[in-house]
């Protein structure tokens, strides 16, 4: 009887802890990466294009929503904070955003090309576009 209870106890512990073992690193979570890239794309566009500004309240709200998503996936608050402040992760997201912008038609040194990409993002209703407001 004791052996059955011990076996059952081990099985329950393994089942409860399995999601934690299966959880990928934050930087391997596609939704988190894509959301951060979209945020960086929007930020780069608003900094480069004089006729586009940020919807700061929306941006803050989306960031908090992403943090809640990460927590719901089982990541701790400390893990999220460390990830968000990690210089290598910031550089990785920045590079992915730069690649996205280039593929979308943004040309470094040409503010209007960033404006065109920003207006297209707004028109398509992308996450990056939802963070922006165009004055043209």
pLDDT digits (tens, 9 = 90+) for 101-127: 999 999 999 999 999 999 999 999 999
* The length of the chain, given as a count of residues: 136
Buried b (16+ CB within 10 A) or exposed e, 24-46: eebeebeebbebbbbbbbbbbbb
Q: What tens digit of pLDDT does each residue of 54-94 get?
A: 999 999 999 999 999 999 999 999 999 999 999 999 999 99
Whole-prediction pTM = 0.81
Beta-strand ranges (E) seen in the chain are: 52-54, 132-134
Tokens of 134: 């165009």
């Amino acid at each position: 009887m004791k052996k059955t209870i011990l076996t059952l106890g081990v099985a329950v512990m393994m089942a409860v802890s399995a999601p934690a073992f299966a959880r990928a690193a934050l930087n391997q979570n596609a939704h988190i990466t894509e959301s951060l890239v979209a945020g960086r794309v929007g930020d780069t566009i608003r900094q480069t294009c004089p006729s586009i500004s940020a919807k700061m309240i929306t941006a803050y709200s989306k960031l908090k929503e992403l943090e809640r998503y990460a927590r719901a996936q089982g990541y701790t608050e400390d893990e999220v904070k460390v990830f968000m402040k990690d210089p290598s992760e910031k550089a990785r997201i920045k590079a992915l955003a730069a690649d996205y912008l280039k593929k979308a038609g943004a040309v470094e040194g040409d503010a209007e090309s960033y404006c065109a990409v920003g207006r297209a993002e707004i028109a398509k209703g992308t996450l990056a576009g939802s963070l922006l407001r165009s004055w043209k």
